[in-house]
Chain A
Amino acid sequence: MQSILEISGLTKTYAGGFTALRGVDLSIRKGEIFALLGPNGAGKTTLIGAVCGLVRPTSGTIHAFGEDMATHWRSLRARIGLVPQELATDMFEPVLRSVGHSRGLFGLPPDPAKIEEILRALSLWDKRNDQIRMLSGGMKRRVLIAKALAHDPELLFLDEPTAGVDVELRRDMWRQIALLRERGTTVILTTHYIEEAEEMADRVGVINKGEILMVDEKQAMMERLGRTEALITLTQPLGDVPDSLSAFPVSLDKDGTVLCYRGGGGDGDSAGTSEVAELTKALTRAGIDYSAIDIHESSLEDIFVDLLDGGAA
């Protein structure tokens, strides 16, 4: 797979002494949606800032489209778009003019048809003559997306695109981002909503305290680190886990009325469920009766929390 962005050994220590990035290595594939997942203060915005020219890296290199950003920043920045986290723009400008200005700032000739297409796609066309300050929060954020798209970037950064946005607008934003991918734009988004990464991303990178803890296909990450959890409600409480079940990763809960199984990690998605099937057979053989089985796969959230806990330990 062709790489569109290569970051290696990227470190950023701010003037105040705070180190926001500690030797980040990251490779982004052309055409993917990559979610950079991490808690607040993990270094997500700094990482984006370093690529987009808002932050000066302390050390390390950034290559975009195969060229070094430090030397070819002029031609490379023209191909990269940024939607910042804060709703920061001249709020008194009308939408259409603001988006047109963004295109001009990136050195491109006016293209009213292109701007109209972008505004229509983001459902902003009816508001094109309104001052940005008159729009709702969700619309303002879409204006910032329109501004970032005005120069037709091949690589788009979205910093917390759904922060402070209600559920419906968040779903709408996800649709817009999916549309971008269909158009061939590579999207890197940061989020601290696990649900968002789970919903949108092809690959997920987990970042904490300035370090990338893990990068993988979302699916692979969930399979590799995911666990199967089964809660088996027993008809008779047990005092101890019987020896016949000691081979299984089980424990007793709720005063011995619930048998908990947690396992299946590391071997792919079917290992856990098939082991639960074996467990039920073993229960039957041991003469232990049960009235219900609740079985589920752990979410990206569980994985994320595990990773961060592991990182802290």
Chain B
Amino acid sequence: MSLFNARSAWTIYKRELFRAFRTALQSIIAPVLTTTLYFVVFGAAIGGQMQGGMGGVNYGAFIVPGLLLLTLLGESTSNASFGIYMPRFTGAIYELLSAPVGVAETLVGFVGAAATKSLILATIILVTASFFVDYSIAHPVYAFGYILLVSASFSLFGFILGIWADSFEKLSVVPMLILMPLTFLGGTFYSIQVLPEPWRSVAMANPVVYLVNGLRWTFYGSSDVSIGLSLGLTLLFLAICVALISWIFRTGWRLRA
């Protein structure tokens, strides 16, 4: 028998997407509405009053990549974590564990589905944003690649979170208490350059700064940090997540008693 069963992976993927569309109100409509409100308030209303713009572009356009990233991080993480946590919680995971399915099928299925949902969200958000602010994308191919990379990385991260969590509280603590503050302070709404020292240096320790600026570079061709550094760190994060997950499957940590 082969080392990868595409049909098993496809089944998990399909099932997860069914689940997403079943809960479309929560998993698609809600984040789109939230992001739209940001565009309306910060982009159209406040941004319109800011004459100088920020980072060389008008303020409404400036926040598009940051807000997109805010949603991508949160939704990728929570979608993937719920996807694996729920069957663990209800016991339905028995079926996955007893199936001839390994780490590869599981990852392609769960993480692929979570990343797909994030891509759908990103598309809807970008289309919605165009109604409220004027923005352009300097490097569309890079932008797509970077969105894909971030979605996949944080879906992997969410998957780990969903295996680590042993309560609903832990499940929501990481996105709410760690990811969200880091994203808000990571240059979503402002350029790191406008911060006074020492806060500018402190901000550079925030990993989300590199994500936001990576995506911002694909939009406007300039950002606070170099695209190479952003890309490198994102890939490193992806690699760490993959390594952790292979360890989880090898040892059965929190999956097999």
Contacts and interface: CB of A to CB of B under 8 A. Distances in A.
A270 B18 CA distance: 63
A76 B100 CA distance: 8
A109 B5 CA distance: 11
A14 B95 contact: no
Contact of A147 (B7, B86, B87, B95): B95
Contacts of A237: none
B92 A89 contact: yes
B10 A104 contact: yes
Contact of A107 (B7, B18, B97): B7
Q: Indicate the size class of the contact surface on chain A.
A: 20 to 34
Contact of B22 (A52, A54, A92): A92
Interface stretch (A80-88, A214-222, A285-293): A80-88
B257 A54 contact: yes
A88 B14 CA distance: 20
Interface string B96-139: 11111110000000000000000000000000000000000000
A106 B90 contact: no
A90 to B, nearest CB: 6
A54 B94 contact: yes
A82 B7 contact: no
Contacts of A88: 87, 90-92, 94
Contacts, number: 87
A54 B98 CA distance: 7
B92 A78 contact: no
Contacts of A78: 1, 100
Contacts of B87: 88, 90
A53 to B, nearest CB: 5
Contacts of A120: none
Nearest to B11: A104
B18 A86 contact: no
Interface of B: 1, 3, 5, 7-8, 10-12, 14-15, 18-19, 22, 86-87, 90-92, 94-102, 252, 256-257
